[in-house]
Structure 1
């Protein structure tokens, strides 16, 4: 499975790069606007036959130096480079803890920063823990039964999410790219594979974005929400991988000092929910 994923990932990255982007002539008839296999091999300093075997999903174990060369040739970012390495590994990456328990010290941190919405997810974006302000912000997620609290499922399958997330497509595509990274860490994880099947069956957007093979890790930036009670919120978010875990993320959102969003978040959780 990892070999097939590696082949598909290489093809997707090759297709997005134009010859002119890497200083190559773009003349001649091309089936697609991206690079040819031979051009990737040239840029990476490997034989065209070797690269062809990689893209055909044949049994090949590229060395770290070859993977580095491919990452440079395909202009991969840090998240994509890590994904490439995991897909090319001789053994699957360690599985996340099966019980998905959140360390008690992390739960205490959620309580201590109570005025700040904060929550914990795993790599496939299941919500594992949250504080009251996070429940007030994401009231639709908090209403879901245990085992169904997944940020990506909510974004793609619940119509309310498209109104709540002002920049719905940007947010959701990032989530899909994070799920793709999770499959690279453990391609055989049954829960992750079940989620991918479910979303592929229920969402045409997911099917399209999943095939693009985009890979991303936890993010940092600004998100815009349209909350059903307090209205529009502009919040800065940051996601951090927790020490001692494979992919558990601690996520917080904060408002700029003196902004209307800060005033809204200052209201008690009971008023927000």
Structure 2
């Protein structure tokens, strides 16, 4: 079935589950099918019954955002159903006002159980908001950076000091994915002032970012290889994977090394450094959130000056 056919099927099924009384008393109740008729849906949405019929038959293929919004309201769709409707119609799902920084308890628990893997969690703007001790031990303690410095795009495109190096091909893929993610974020969060400010500043200070932004480059995160130059244990090459948390636009970045390799052994040694960083942070920071062990994660909410 084509996407347009799937849209029509979904609309028909959603229409069938709405009680006819939602559109007011019909002229004749005898012999009618359950659910709203196209005429009744037209009354609720202000659209023509003919157009709605063509939508369900797949003959009208490009409904506008305004049409989709009216349909979602009339059909009383849930948030997930509304998102599905927009995606079926080839439109970006309805946006929310601001990039969320909330990390669900399930993600925090996951971090706490990945003691042997350096893991950092970023929001849709690529602000690093949560990390575990081994992440800090491997790439440097993010708590020592200003809020703006904990944004991956700002850190990379403005040439801030970093322990990580790339080959030209690795760097090109990484940059394309970052820029594509930020462009997607502006679609999902069009009224987020901090996101707009970040992008404006990056375009102003980074010729490289500005060129990629204007090119409308497309990119996605795949399993990549990074070389980390650690001041105590020397260089180690690790794999890097980026995972997206459904429903909250978080990016979980994890570094790993194949078992039995020298890099894997060095990561185990870094666990000791990670524990030391956590101990220092515990002496300086407020108590961890209720129910979360102090050693599970590091968390620094970003401020508006990024």
> Fold-level match, TM-score > 0.5?
yes
- Report the counterpart of residue 206 of structure 2 in structure 1: 203
CA distance in 2, matches of 1:228, 1:235: 12
TM-score by length of 2: 0.54
C-alpha root-mean-square deviation of aligned residues, in Å?
2.8
Q: Which has more radius of gyration? A: 2
Q: Which moved more, 1:116-125 or 1:102-111?
A: 102-111
Structure-2 separation of matches of 1:156 and 1:266: 31
Report matched runs for 1:95-134 at 5 Å: 95=97, 98=100, 100-134=101-135
Question: Residue 228 of structure 2 contacts residue 238 of structure 2 at CA under 8 Å; is this kept in 1?
Answer: no
Q: Identify if the C-alpha distance between structure 1 residues 117 and 216 changes in structure 2 by more than 3 Å, giving closer, same or farther.
A: same
TM-score, normalised to structure 1, is 0.60
* 1:250 equivalent in alignment to 2:252: yes
- In structure 2, relative to structure 1, the CA distance for the partners of 1:170 and 1:215 (3 Å cut) is closer
SS for the counterpart of 1:267 is helix
CA contact (8 A) 1:117 1:133 kept: yes
Q: Is the 8 A contact 1:240 1:250 kept in 2?
A: yes
Once the two structures are TM-superposed, the CA of residue 147 in structure 1 deviates from its matched residue by: 5.4
Corresponding residue for residue 164 of structure 2: 164
CA distance in 2, matches of 1:269, 1:214: 38
Unaligned runs of 5+ in 2: 1-60, 65-86, 278-306
Write the distance in 1 (CA, Å) between the matches of 2:216 and 2:243.
23
- Give the conservation status (yes or no) of the 8 Å contact 2:124–2:185: yes
- In 2: Cα distance, 1:186 partner to 1:86 partner: 14
2:216 aligned residue: 213
Indicate how the Cα distance of structure 1 residues 203 and 86 shifts in structure 2: closer, same or farther if over 3 A, else same.
farther
1:236 to 236, 239, 242: 239
| Contact preservation (8 Å) 2:95, 2:189 | yes
